[in-house]
Chains A and B, each alone.
Chain A
């Protein structure tokens, strides 16, 4: 009987109840949309990092990534290939030689990371080929072609077929400089990446870093970085463990470890959605308390009568709590549905943030954000609302049971 009474009590003031229900639904919708936006932004950031060159996994010799010292070499390319080709989870891999150096043109100079890649392998792992806005992805030509980002092209005033000089240390630590010709210009939408990374062919780079006097090093076997792309990103930890077993003493890192900020970003998203939810729910608490308090105060005589005829305090208390929970229970599916529809729509169509494109690009974010949320967030929201309703009901419910029937009735 108490649930029935609570349900009917809620609908005694339909306008008032709908105001509260709308507020809760709006709150859920807003919290979901904000979370969707933040998650979408994070995924866009992580995905663009993965696509641009990080891949899902990377292998380096220990110490290499600290100062890019060429003495930290990976095992021979042919040996690595043997380990990689047996992994069924692997979609593609790219072996690279990476040096830190300076790019200069007649216009000036910039510090850059030079990535020496094998075109076919690289195209299968990263999206650089798709991000070309000019030129071609390493066309057939005789030696020393370079792909540069649009940002670098702008800063160094380079165009297709311009000459670019790359200066770096070789294996013997002597400074080497070599002229390259721009064969393609890419735009990943990430300004720091586009301004600080160039791609050349590994063959060319290996030839430059191995001194002519060195006759023991086999150029084609020289590798400093392997980037791997998996069929399923969720297998990243499993494959990392497998590779670590196959290549003891080498450094196998997932994309989260390669860019610790990616992991931080992923973990922050959880916090961000909880913060949004808590703030919104706190704002809702006031409205709920106020409404329920009114609902109690205007029924003082009725509640007094209920207690006079034998309804005990626990029952009165639970009836008020239940009435509040009903408001939440009605609102939650509405809010969740609205949020789901919004997220789904923006997941398909995206929100164009081009008004802020430069600001976004300088942080490595793409202009179009596609909403996304983890399924667990929906459950999190529902639980949050439920707890909030109970919390907000406590004060009005206590108020109700503190009534003395004799004071409430004033009728004898």
Chain B
């Protein structure tokens, strides 16, 4: 079953002045349980595509379905709630809320979903354990290393049991050891729990571990490798 379907997605910036076509008709299907990397040089439209899939931006033409719902026509507020329920985000930086502890960060979205305190607590502990941070639950982001912060971000993204997790260059700021560690955790979650991951990256080590690699060039899909 496809969790993400895009059909003829186009995106034009500056339609009034000097139009820039960032996406020129992208058709893409991502099935549940995939571990997919979206790669491409700067200016290939990679960022735009991820924004659109994540419901942070709207296509100029075409449509996007996430979990069977068309998100391209949703209102801003509906989109916010939709993202909260269905999409987990891991950004390359500014991932965590600096004033909250690791556990509070993981609990945050569940709190917005009005889950009970006990449930939030149990799930946060469980997820932090899953990313190997059971001894750091009460630390604030500033007290964690870059790799640890990204693992908290993964735990937080998983908290609301989203349809898929969208990760933007999650290893861009990490050293080799942390990168390997984070990828191990993501791969394990993918294999054991069946979590769908879609991530963008430049990093060859990350690309090597992806089971599907979609390459964008000039706003179009150039290659689509399944391994």
Contacts and interface: CB of A to CB of B under 8 A. Distances in A.
Given A1-B104, A405-B56, A411-B168, A302 B98 contact: yes
Given A309-B156, A405-B56, A412-B47, 8 more contacts: A1-B111, A5-B99, A302-B97, A305-B94, A308-B54, A308-B91, A313-B80, A412-B168
A409 B91 contact: yes
Interface in B81-114: 81, 83-85, 89, 91-95, 97-100, 104, 107-109, 111-112
A406 B112 CA distance: 20
Contacts of B80: 307, 310-313
B89 A308 contact: yes
B64 to A, nearest CB: 14
Contacts of A302: 94, 97-98
A131 interface: no
A305 B91 contact: yes
Contacts of A305: 89, 91, 94-95, 97
Nearest to B88: A309
Contacts of B112: 310-312, 315
Contacts of A1: 100, 104, 107-108, 111
A8 interface: yes
B135 to A, nearest CB: 22
Nearest to B95: A305
Nearest to A2: B111
A405 B84 CA distance: 14
A12 interface: yes
B179 to A, nearest CB: 18
B215 interface: no
18 contacts: A4-B99, A12-B98, A309-B83, A309-B89, A309-B108, A309-B109, A309-B156, A309-B157, A310-B80, A310-B160, A311-B112, A404-B56, A405-B56, A406-B51, A406-B56, A411-B94, A412-B47, A412-B200
Nearest to B160: A310
Contacts of B47: 412
Interface in A376-412: 404-406, 409, 411-412
Interface centre among B46, B56, B104, B157 (most CB of A within 10 A): B56
B3 interface: no
A2 to B, nearest CB: 9
Interface residues of chain A: helix, strand, loop or mixed (majority): helix
A372 B141 CA distance: 51
A411 B200 CA distance: 11
Contacts of B50: 412
Interface residues of A, number: 25
- Top-8 shortest CB links A-B: A310-B84, A8-B99, A412-B47, A301-B94, A406-B56, A412-B50, A312-B80, A406-B57
A9 interface: yes
A404 B54 CA distance: 13
B219 to A, nearest CB: 15
Contacts of A310: 80-81, 83-85, 109, 112, 160
Contact of B97 (A306, A313, A405, A412): A306
Nearest to B50: A412
A365 B92 CA distance: 71
A412 B89 CA distance: 11
A310 B108 CA distance: 10
A3 to B, nearest CB: 12
A295 B41 CA distance: 35
Contact of B91 (A8, A12, A404, A411): A411
Contacts of A8: 99-100
Contacts of B107: 1
A409 B47 CA distance: 11
Contacts of A406: 51, 56-57
A121 B78 CA distance: 83
Contacts of A315: 112
B79 to A, nearest CB: 10
B77 interface: yes
Contacts of B95: 305
Interface string A199-232: 0000000000000000000000000000000000
Contact of B99 (A9, A301, A312): A9
A308 B83 contact: yes
A398 to B, nearest CB: 15
Contacts of A311: 80, 112
A310 B84 CA distance: 4
Nearest to A6: B99
Nearest to A11: B99
Contacts of B56: 308, 404-406, 409, 412
A9 B160 CA distance: 25
Interface string A307-339: 111111101000000000000000000000000
B85 to A, nearest CB: 8
Contacts of B109: 309-310
Contacts of B84: 309-310
Given A412-B50, A412-B200, A313 B83 contact: no
A306 B98 CA distance: 11
A347 B111 CA distance: 52
Nearest to A406: B56
